[in-house]
């Protein structure tokens, strides 16, 4: 799902999240696995994710208010929507694409340790 930057940043996280859940569950992964990946990336707790979903925050707010982006995000590399994530110049779009990339890796069956870039968190 490749959409324009302005549309994507204004999209509510609550609209994206169920699409991620469907994607990973269709590939045999759980919502807990998805939550682990998203919390690793953003520093949100599970309750924090639930709160963001309930309050309807858009993706710009979701990332602006993220408790702590993981210090290892620079290790996330590869192509998403035809663009190398490590070459995206807009910081918000890069964070959104990092999340997309991690969800794709989860759905493709990559090992959790590899998705979390060697971390066990």
- Buried b / exposed e along 28-61 (16+ C-beta atoms within 10 A): ebeeebbbbbbbbbbebeeebbeebbeeebbbbb
Percent of the chain residues topping a pLDDT of 70: 93
Structure pTM? 0.91
Distance of CA 28 to the CA centre of its chain: 18
Domains of the chain: 5-109 (1.10.8.290)
pLDDT per residue as tens digits for the range 80-121: 988 999 999 999 999 999 999 999 999 999 999 999 998 765
Q: Is 28 helix (H, G, I), strand (E, B) or coil?
A: coil
């Amino acid at each position: 799902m490749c959409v324009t930057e302005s549309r994507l940043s204004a999209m509510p996280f609550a609209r994206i999240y169920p699409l991620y859940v469907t994607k990973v569950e269709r590939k045999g992964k759980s919502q807990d696995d998805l939550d682990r990946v998203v919390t690793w990336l953003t520093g949100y707790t599970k309750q924090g994710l639930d709160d963001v979903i309930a309050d309807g925050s858009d993706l710009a707010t979701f990332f602006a208010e993220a408790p702590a982006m993981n210090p290892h995000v620079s290790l996330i590399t590869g192509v998403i929507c035809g663009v190398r994530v490590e070459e995206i110049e807009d910081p918000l779009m890069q964070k959104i694409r990092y999340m997309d990339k991690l969800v794709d890796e989860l759905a493709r069956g990559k090992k959790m340790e590899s998705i979390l870039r060697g971390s066990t968190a």
